[in-house]
Each structure stands twice: as structure tokens, then as C-alpha cells.
Structure 1
């Protein structure tokens, strides 16, 4: 513990307490927060290990950074601007298997906390309730309490602790509290709406990994088709495949921009790019065509029944090499999280047993999956939910996200009663969480805040494709998803 405290307190950007703005009778100074007793905080007893004033560069305002642990092993970091706090708090979700809070430097251009601090928000992050590498699930092996933290308790605890720290810092509670996350963080965001509907005024759930076992069965299956140094679909083949898909389907949305507005409308004829005679480039072999069609279709039974949904839509081909990374990650999830009791480190997935794996995953899905469509309490409390996902997100679970939205729509009584509080945006040409050939950069936090604070519903959002310096190259208007 002494080493941990030294590592946290010994940063060269920390400044002496005497350099901080003086405390007032009704507001403690930043360093004084380190002495705050949070041991009796309801549902989230915590200990603060450090509080320091940070003077960053790159236009980020001076902020106070508070670190500590909440029950049981939820590491948290809360930041808030020393001056001009806007009265609001945003809690950011994790990614992958979580395990760390040290992933976001506010001075980096694409930093989510930096952007929020510039707007005057207080921010909070957490580690998902454990310490680990981001793509290794072994931490959860026979560790049910940590799995509960990861599943839903850690973001709940982090939010409660952050609220209390901000309240003590400003002698006033936050007037709005938001949760924002992508991928696993998007799953956490949906868990907050489903399990803690009274805690957040607004939620951003991006590319949520909500159908847990289904998604990882599909990703592990796809990963095995890209394993090793010489996959059947190498980079050259993926470029050929993608070019053919765009050539065949780009016209379907009425604009030729090499981006598919709705790739579900695209049915590429791969026979048209089959190699003829002795051709070796600009075409696909029969093996390559077979694997490409398998990736589009996802794992199926010998009778053709879908086992788990593929997220690899036409137009996403240039991202498929990512399967070589998420495949081993998925195998780790299968070994240590999918089954009860866990399969263990020696488990090797058998492709003939995939349907059985999905059936056996009920216990872990009950903890981790975020599939409950009953958002009536969240809506009744005035909550607003923004969800978005890229049509070129080959790993995020497009079918699951759309199916979840449809299910909520049915339960809530129709589109109008759903879109009063929950809107899904599908982004053409966007990859997992960000990036891609399309226009994908949107200030979702501003949009959510306008909806919550001023009842300005997002009937359309303007997305921008930035260059390497962050300057806009082109834009696209995107409307909420309807089917």
C-alpha cells in the first residue's frame, strides 16, 4: 500500500497545497479532500488516497484530481475544474476487461475527460472493480465478487463516490449526472439504465457489448479464421473484397461516396470477383470467398441455424484483421467467464459445441449481459438514453444493438413512446466506437445535455470526418434509427 500511495502522490505535476486556491468556510481546498471520510457512504464506502491540484497544458483548465478505492476493489479517479464548474458530473465507462483507470490523459486531443473538463464538467472513471490487463479475463477465475463488480456494481459505486466528492468539493450536489461509455463501457451504461434507473439523468451507451456470451462466441469463432501469420483472408484479399462490395452497393443509397448508408441492403455477389484461370491478384480464390461468406453469416449449425450473430456487415471488410486480436480475447472470456463453474485455463473452444456454449452461459449472462428491455422506471424518472454504433463495427454486435432497441420499442408501446427518451443512431462508415471512412465525430455529450437540460431532442445529428489534425474534412447528417 505504501508503494501505491507513493506512486499516486509522487507525480511531478502535483503541486504543493500552498499553491492551491485557499479553502473557504464552506468549501475545502483540493488537498483537504484527501482527509474526507467516506467510510459510511451508503452502498459505496470508500477511502481517498490522494487529492492534488493539476495544472495541465493544451487548454485544459486547472483541475483537482482525487483518487481512491470504493467497496470492494473499485479504483476511482474524480476530476473537477477548480473554477467555472458547470454543476454537472459525467462518469465514464471502461473498455474490454477494464482493470485500470490510467488510460486517459486530458491533454490528448481525443481525450474524453479533457473535452469534458474544458466544458466545465466534473468527471469520474473507474477500473471495473479489479486490476488486470484490458483483454485478459483471468482475473475473474473463481472470483464471483469481482465479476459482480465488473458486471454492474463498479460503475454504480464509482458514480456514488464521485457524486459525494463533488458535493463536498463545492458544498453543492451536481445538478445533472451522466454516464458515458463505449463497448464494455456501453454495456455498463445500459446496466445503469436497467439496474439503477434513478441514478443518472442521461446516459450514452455506444456500441454496447450487451449480449455477452453471444458476442464472444461469434468473435472467437471469427478470430480462428484470422489466426496465425497467413490467414486465408490476408490484407490484400480484404482490400479486394471491400472494393468489390463498394462497387456493387455504393449506389444503393443514392450517393456515391464509398460509404454504405445501410449495409443490410447490400448483398454482394462474390462470384463476380472469383479468380479465373491463373489470375492471382485483384480477385479471390474459392477458399477466400468461402471464408468471406462465413464471416458475413456468422457461426451456424450444420442445418444453417444462426448460433451467434455476426457484426461483420458489407463495407466493414477493412477492419476484419482485428479478429486476430479479439479472437484470443474471446477465448479468454470463454475460459474464465462464460461458464459456471469456469472452464479454466486449459479450455480450448470446440466449434462443434458453440450452440451448447451459448446455452450454458446463462449464469454469467445474468451478471454481465445488459439485455433487460424494461426501461420504464428510467423513463419515469426523466432519464434520457442516447445510443450509437457504426455500421462498419465488425466486432461490436450490430444485430444485438438493433434487436435490443426494437425490443424496448415493443415493450414501451411503440416508437413515439420510446423515442421520447431513447434514441439509437447508426453511423455509416464508422468502426468500433470511433474512426472509419465515414463521418463519425459527434459531440454526444452536448447533445445529451441539451436533451436532458433543455428538452431539445436530437431529431438529427451532424457527424464530421476529421483529418489527422482534427479539422473537418466532410460531414453527414444522421437521423435516429427506424426500421
Structure 2
């Protein structure tokens, strides 16, 4: 690059080039970048200048200063939402990376939403996705509304992505396109994060001092994928209720549909009515049985099963001895319940996905919504039969099979083979994370009543990662399991906790998360410690509502 070309570049990039050339170092970088902009007080002009960004195959569509105002709706529509928090004044940059026409003439591209507050704290965060992505959520960094205030409100620059396609987050039809599969699996995450860091450096005149990844569900999967595929991208990662082993989880969803179709009553066309396989009173009966058997194992009967691995509840005790009543389950229901919790296996008995522990969330609307739905006809509305079936047949299977029917005979060994290729791209279950652990920190958590994600899968992954990387991995990666919590939040649980505070303190101050105090939406006034696996919270005496009355121990 000639000197003339160097000075024709944007000031932020020019400063970066000078650093690489050794002409500008240290604190002089930030001072130079501010002066080079020529208008450090004109944030609006600096923001609008990002509209001319070129590179990375990027088309910037919006670059404007947004005054202090309510956060837009989470659905990506941009509409005002009076229930959302007030956001600080910030520079909003939106655009698309690598626009193209794909399968069936469909338009694809990696959409991004970047928000840079004027009162910046020097940090960068990636706001993880949800479901099958497809919507461009406002980049706040609030992790399923459990981080409050959001990262943006705290002064972080935050970016999000639509995962490389647009459409409802339940729509998996993008999976017919090869590149779209790759973008959703990992490419959109990496491209967006790297672009975001460059735009942050251009706008502020200096690179972020720390970078974080924050997500739950698919966002949790993205966090694990980042630690395994791009280990130098983030300093700290929070991965909640991740779709760990996504391809095998998808087989698990089809297993659930398969099992329930055997016992559900049929409509006039012979289609199973999944919602009627178990009544609400049936599920409440199971919850009561679990609490009677396992609630006191941690030293206190409080409606929370902390010692989940010590819980040996067997639904067989609920079997009717005569006719079906509200106080018992039929033999078919007990068998189905066992199969649902055990999860699918190969013909030689190897676990494909599972098992699921018995917990209080089974009586929640979340479990019904995932497994059974509410439809009183043969047109199902459960998440397994709709979202699960779509993403399995269109995204996970290679080649895609839109006509796949999980209610008929299924060769589960064949299914494992047919998801192998997509699993190799997007599963977040590699235990080999030594490079990340050498410099970064990661908090992984899952609800013990998560209706979709098996806590036993997380434990298997974590213990294998320790075996592969050594006991020292606990100094960089910790797993927390939340009693009663359904997917990302909800349930009779202490589901209110601030993992952003915890990961920042670990990364920036070296304060290890030996326990994280959580409170509850559903049980106001109580607090409990979340404990790093394999420890659980045990009552040692004192105020039963207070986390101070519990110790983390095995």
C-alpha cells in the first residue's frame, strides 16, 4: 500500500494500518484515531460515515444515530414495544453480508444488527440467536431477558445476526440450500463477530478491550461452537440451555413424536391427537410423585430438586391397579413416560440423545408445549411435531426429506447416519477446547426442567471435556444446572441470575464463579445458590428462603 492509498482509507482503518506498520502504538492509537476523525464530538456524522463501509461482501443498509428510546420488539420487526427497556443513545448499523440468490431463487445473506452506545465501556458482545434464526433481533445482549439491564444498557457495543436467512424462527426451509446450512451452523456467527469488531474499531477509534458471547438455546449452541471452532474470537462466553449435539437432539424430538403416537388417541382420519396422550392432571400427578420422592434429598422440602442425580423416581409407582383415574397412570402411559425420559438408542443400546431427569417442570406449560401441544385434532401444534419435525427433515437430514414421517416405522441407526454430515457442521459437543481454555472463560448452564435439552448430555460433554483437557479445565469452564427451570427461563425455579456479571468478573478480575445467587419469578422472596457441577445446593440450616442457608457441595 502506498502512502497516498493509506491516507485515502477511512481514519479508523488508517490508524489500524499504522499500528501494523509500527508507526503508531499504545495509547497514541486512540488519540490519533479520535483526531483523525476530525469530528469527535459529532457522533452522528461518525455513525453515518459507516454507511460507506466496503469489504467483507458487506452492504450497509442503515447507519444512523438513535436517540434514547424504547428497545424495538424482539421479533425483528422494528416496531415499538412499550414493555421493552429504554436504550441509551447509540449508533445503529444494519446490513447484509454476502447477498446471493440460492436454491429455488430464494434470496440469502447474513443480516446483522450492530448497536454502539455513545457512552461506551470499551467492550463488545455478540447477542446469540434463537430457534432456527431467520429474524434480525435487536442487538441488546440480554440472554432471554435474564440479563437486566442488558449489555447495551451497560455500555457494551452489541451485534446480532439472522443466521444467514430470513423467515420465522420455526422455519427450516433454508436447509435446502447448502450455503445457508453452513451460515446457520457457524459461518454467520464468525463473519458477523469479526465484522462487528472492525466496525467498533472504526467508530470508536480503538478496538474493544474485551469480547463476549452471550446466548441461550441456539445462542447457547453458538457459544459452544465458538469455543470449539473459533477459540480466539471471544474472551468470555455464556452458553445457556444450548442445543448441544443439535443433530442428535433432533433425533430425540422425532423419538418423542414416535413414542407418543403409539398411545395418543386417534381422530377420524387415524391421526394421533398428541395433546390427549397425557392430561394436565396426569402431569401434575407425576410432578407430585417426583417431589415426594426427591425434594428432601438436599435437606429441605421446598419444591426444588437440587440433588437431581440422587433422584431415583420411577413412574411405575403411579400405575393404575384397576381402571384409569386422576390418581394413577395407565401401563401404556408409564411405558411412554419412561421411553420419553430415556431418549432414543441405537440397535446396540448406545444413547443417541438423553436421558432426561424427572423434575418439577413436567407439569409446566412448557413441557406440554414441547411434547404434547394443545391441539384437539390430528393437526399437531407441539414443538416436537412442528418445529422439531421441520428442522429434522429439512435441515438435519442429508439429503433433506420433507416427507419424513416419525409416526411410522423408523430405523434409528439410519437416522444417526443421515444427520452425520450436518452434525459435523453445527453440533457444539466437541470436548477439545484447550486453545479457548488457555485464554478464555465460559459459563455453561441448563435448566433441569428444560423440556428440550437433556442435562445428562451437558454432564457427559463436560466430564469428557475435563478428561480430554485435564482437571485444569475447571479453571476456565464451569457447568451450572438450575433446578426446576424450563428452557432458558421459567418454571418453579430460581431462574433469575446475572451471568454477564459472573463472566465479566471471571474474565476481567479472576473471580471464579464458585456459586451464583439466583432468585425466582414464580416463588417471590426466595434465593438459592447455583452450584458448579458436580456440586449441588444443600440446606445447612437457617432461613429457608435465603441462599445463605445453603452450601455448594457434592
TM bucket by the smaller chain? 0.7 to 0.9
Residue aligned with 2:517, SS: strand
Q: 1:177 aligns with which of 211, 214, 224?
A: 211
Counterpart Cα distance in 1 of 2:86 and 2:352: 50
Aligned to 1:187: 221
Q: 1:48 aligns with which of 60, 85, 93?
A: 60
Q: 1:296 aligns with which of 338, 341, 352?
A: 341
Aligned to 1:125: 160
Larger radius of gyration: 2
Describe how 1:255-270 pairs up with structure 2 within 5 A. 255-270=300-315
Residue aligned with 2:399, SS: coil
Q: Evaluate the alpha carbon distance shift between residue 327 and residue 25 of structure 1 in structure 2; reply closer, same or farther with a 3 A threshold.
A: same
Counterpart Cα distance in 2 of 1:107 and 1:300: 36
Aligned to 1:163: 197
What are the superposed Cα offsets for residues 326-371 of structure 1, whole Å, 9 maximum, x if unpaired? 332221122112232222x222234431222012221111111122
Q: Does 1:403 align with 2:460?
A: yes
Q: Evaluate the alpha carbon distance shift between residue 355 and residue 31 of structure 1 in structure 2; reply closer, same or farther with a 3 A threshold.
A: farther
Counterpart Cα distance in 2 of 1:159 and 1:230: 41
Q: 1:482 aligns with which of 534, 539, 542?
A: 534
Q: Does 1:39 align with 2:54?
A: yes
Q: Evaluate the alpha carbon distance shift between residue 97 and residue 328 of structure 1 in structure 2; reply closer, same or farther with a 3 A threshold.
A: same
User: Alpha carbon RMSD of aligned pairs, Å?
Assistant: 2.6
Q: 1:85 aligns with which of 101, 117, 120?
A: 120
Contact 1:38–1:45 (CA<8 Å) still a contact in 2? Answer: no
Contact 1:221–1:327 (CA<8 Å) still a contact in 2? Answer: no
Q: 2:489 aligns with which of 434, 439, 464?
A: 434
Contact 2:246–2:423 (CA<8 Å) still a contact in 1? Answer: yes
1:153 Cα deviation after fit = 0.7
Aligned to 1:445: 500
Q: 1:101 aligns with which of 108, 112, 136?
A: 136
Aligned to 1:412: 469
Task: Give the TM-score taking structure 2 as reference length.
Answer: 0.76
Aligned to 2:539: none
Contact 1:210–1:370 (CA<8 Å) still a contact in 2? Answer: yes
What are the superposed Cα offsets for residues 237-295 of structure 1, whole Å, 9 maximum, x if unpaired? 11111111111211222110111113232222434323343462222222222221222
1:393 Cα deviation after fit = 1.0
Q: Evaluate the alpha carbon distance shift between residue 46 and residue 144 of structure 1 in structure 2; reply closer, same or farther with a 3 A threshold.
A: same
Q: Does 1:373 align with 2:387?
A: no
Q: Evaluate the alpha carbon distance shift between residue 234 and residue 97 of structure 1 in structure 2; reply closer, same or farther with a 3 A threshold.
A: same
1:308 Cα deviation after fit = 3.0
1:149 Cα deviation after fit = 0.6
Instruction: Indicate the larger mover: 397-406 or 261-270.
Output: 261-270
Q: Evaluate the alpha carbon distance shift between residue 313 and residue 280 of structure 1 in structure 2; reply closer, same or farther with a 3 A threshold.
A: closer
Contact 1:28–1:169 (CA<8 Å) still a contact in 2? Answer: no
Counterpart Cα distance in 2 of 1:103 and 1:233: 38
Contact 1:204–1:385 (CA<8 Å) still a contact in 2? Answer: yes
Counterpart Cα distance in 2 of 1:35 and 1:56: 22
Describe how 1:40-439 pairs up with structure 2 within 5 A. 40=55, 44-52=56-64, 53-57=66-70, 58-72=85-99, 73-82=109-118, 84-102=119-137, 110=145, 115-141=150-176, 143-224=177-258, 225=260, 228=273, 230-278=275-323, 280-300=325-345, 306-318=351-363, 319-321=366-368, 322-323=370-371, 324-343=382-401, 345-349=402-406, 350-380=408-438, 382-414=439-471, 417-439=472-494
Q: Evaluate the alpha carbon distance shift between residue 107 and residue 306 of structure 1 in structure 2; reply closer, same or farther with a 3 A threshold.
A: closer
Unaligned regions of 5+ residues in structure 2, if any? Answer: 1-36, 71-84, 100-108, 262-271, 372-381, 536-554
1:105 Cα deviation after fit = 7.8
Counterpart Cα distance in 2 of 1:205 and 1:117: 18
Counterpart Cα distance in 2 of 1:282 and 1:402: 34
1:209 Cα deviation after fit = 1.1
Contact 1:113–1:123 (CA<8 Å) still a contact in 2? Answer: no
Counterpart Cα distance in 2 of 1:341 and 1:480: 40
Unaligned regions of 5+ residues in structure 1, if any? Answer: 1-22
Instruction: Indicate the larger mover: 299-308 or 277-286.
Output: 299-308
Counterpart Cα distance in 2 of 1:161 and 1:144: 23
Instruction: Indicate the larger mover: 433-442 or 312-321.
Output: 312-321
